[in-house]
Amino acid sequence: MSKILRAVHAYLSDVLKRLPTHKATQIEGYCNTAGNPIKIKKWLWGSADAYSFTTY
């Protein structure tokens, strides 16, 4: 696994712990099918739930 993918995996693992279950499930499904860090980042930061973990 590349350094970038390891970093994304670690980041998303932390994110999944902080989000409501329905949102975490959506992210897991997205990561398993797409796996594009840039798309994941845009998708996360485009959601209302994402704001809470980007401002601590």
pTM assigned to the model: 0.33
Amino acid letter, 31: C
| Per-residue model confidence as pLDDT tens for the chain (56 residues) | 577 777 777 787 777 676 666 565 566 565 555 555 555 555 555 554 554 444 43
* pLDDT confidence of residue 21: 60
* pLDDT confidence of residue 53: 47
Cβ pair 16, 24 in contact under 8 A: yes
